[in-house]
C-alpha cells in the first residue's frame, strides 16, 4: 500500500504547544494523542527532520512531517447498524448521525460507532485518517445530531479535507439557547483553547489559541427566554458553537458540560440542543453537494413545546 505524507508548519499562535496535542487538534488527518504517540514510536513523525517525543514543545516555523504506511486492514469490526444516508455515490456519502452515536472507536466506546456501521455498509474506506477512523474527515459530538460527510476513496478524502482546511465547507447548525438578551444576529470571532479551570471544556477567553469564528442569526424567540438560532461555521473547532454561546452568557439548552446550573437541566430535551442542519461541499468531480438533515424527534419536540408556550426549565 502506498505511503501517505502530511506536513505542517507551526504558526506563531501554536508555539509552546505539545506536539501530540497540536497534531490531535488538526482536522486532517484526524488523530488522537495516543495515535500520535504510536506513530512517533514507529519513527513516522519527525520535527525538522529529527525524531522527538510526544511532549516536545513546538517552536514557531517548526516543520512537522509524517510519512505513514496505512495498515492493510482496519483494526475494527463491521457491525450491522442502521444508517440514514442523505447522499451517496462511489466517492462520498453524507450520513444523518443520530443522537448518542459516537463517530469513531475510542476508549470507552470500542464499538457501536458510526465507523463500525460504515464498515458494514461500504465495501472499502480510506484509512489515511488512521485505522480507527476510516473515511472520517470531520466529527460532531456524540450528543449532537445531523449531517456528517464520509469519504469512500483517498481522492475524496484529500479533496474534502482541503475544503475543511480552507473553510469552504458550508456548515449550518441549529441550536436552542437561553438568550433573552442575545442580539438578532452577530459573529463570535475569538481564540479557542482549553479552559484552564475545566480541562474538559474550551473557551475563547484565552491569551493563546487557534482562531474560531461562528456567525449566527436568531430564527425564533420564546416567552421562556429560549431562542432558536442558526449558526454558520467559518471554522470548525471542537465544541465551537457550545463554547461561543456559553462564553456569550447564552448557553445551549440541555448542555451538561457548558450549561452549568443555568441550562444543563432542561425538561424538553435530554442533551445539548444542537443539530447539524445542512452540509454543502464540492464533490471531487466538481459538482456541488448540498444536504439537509431533518430535526430528530427530541429536537422537533422541544421546538413544538416552546412554540406552544411551555417553559424549558
- Positions marked catalytic: 141
Positive/negative CA dihedral, 258, 263, 264, 270:
negative
- 97 in Cβ contact with 271 (< 8 Å): no
Alpha-carbon span 171 to 114, nearest angstrom: 20
How are beta strands 226-233 and 274-282 bridged, if at all? unpaired
- The C-alpha cell at 34 is 495516543
Alpha-carbon span 58 to 65, nearest angstrom: 13
- 89 in Cβ contact with 98 (< 8 Å): no
- Check whether the bond before 310 is cis (ω within 30° of 0): no
- 296 in Cβ contact with 173 (< 8 Å): no
Q: Which of 127, 128, 125, 75 is nearest to 105 (CA)?
A: 75
Alpha-carbon span 186 to 170, nearest angstrom: 18
- Angle at alpha carbon of residue 194, lines to 281 and 96, rounded to 5°: 30
- Look at the chain and count its residues: 313
Question: What are the phi and psi torsion angles at 119 (to 5°)?
Answer: -65, -30
Q: Which of 90, 232, 254, 112 is nearest to 172 (CA)?
A: 232
Alpha-carbon span 220 to 71, nearest angstrom: 49
Amino acid at each position: 500500500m502506498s505511503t501517505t505524507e502530511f506536513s505542517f508548519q507551526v504558526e506563531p499562535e501554536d508555539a509552546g504547544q505539545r506536539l501530540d496535542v497540536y497534531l490531535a487538534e488538526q482536522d486532517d488527518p484526524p488523530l488522537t494523542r495516543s495515535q500520535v504517540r504510536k506513530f512517533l514510536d514507529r519513527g513516522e513523525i519527525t520535527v525538522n527532520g529529527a525524531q522527538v517525543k510526544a511532549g516536545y514543545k513546538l517552536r514557531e516555523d517548526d516543520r512537522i512531517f509524517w510519512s505513514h504506511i496505512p495498515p492493510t486492514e482496519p483494526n475494527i469490526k463491521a457491525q450491522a447498524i442502521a444508517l440514514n444516508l442523505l447522499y451517496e455515490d462511489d466517492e462520498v456519502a453524507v450520513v444523518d448521525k443520530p443522537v448518542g452515536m459516537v463517530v469513531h472507536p475510542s476508549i470507552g466506546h470500542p464499538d457501536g460507532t458510526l465507523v463500525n456501521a460504515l464498515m458494514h455498509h461500504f465495501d472499502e474506506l480510506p484509512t489515511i485518517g488512521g485505522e480507527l477512523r476510516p473515511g472520517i474527515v470531520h466529527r460532531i459530538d456524540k450528543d449532537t445530531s445531523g449531517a456528517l460527510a464520509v469519504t469512500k476513496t483517498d481522492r475524496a478524502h484529500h479533496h474534502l479535507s482541503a475544503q475543511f482546511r480552507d473553510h469552504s465547507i458550508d456548515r449550518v447548525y441549529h441550536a436552542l439557547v437561553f438568550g433573552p438578551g442575545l442580539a438578532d444576529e452577530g459573529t463570535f470571532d475569538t481564540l479557542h483553547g482549553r479552559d484552564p479551570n475545566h480541562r474538559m471544556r474550551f473557551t475563547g477567553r484565552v491569551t493563546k489559541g487557534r482562531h474560531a469564528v461562528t456567525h449566527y442569526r436568531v430564527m425564533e424567540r420564546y416567552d421562556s427566554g429560549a431562542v432558536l438560532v442558526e449558526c454558520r461555521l467559518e471554522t470548525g473547532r471542537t465544541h465551537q458553537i457550545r463554547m461561543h454561546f456559553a462564553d456569550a452568557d447564552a448557553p445551549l439548552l440541555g448542555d451538561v458540560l457548558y450549561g452549568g446550573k443555568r441550562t444543563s437541566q432542561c425538561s424538553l430535551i435530554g442533551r445539548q440542543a444542537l443539530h447539524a442542519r445542512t452540509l454543502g461541499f464540492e464533490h471531487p468531480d466538481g459538482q456541488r453537494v448540498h444536504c439537509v438533515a431533518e430535526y430528530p424527534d427530541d429536537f422537533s419536540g422541544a421546538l413544538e413545546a416552546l412554540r406552544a408556550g411551555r417553559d424549558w426549565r
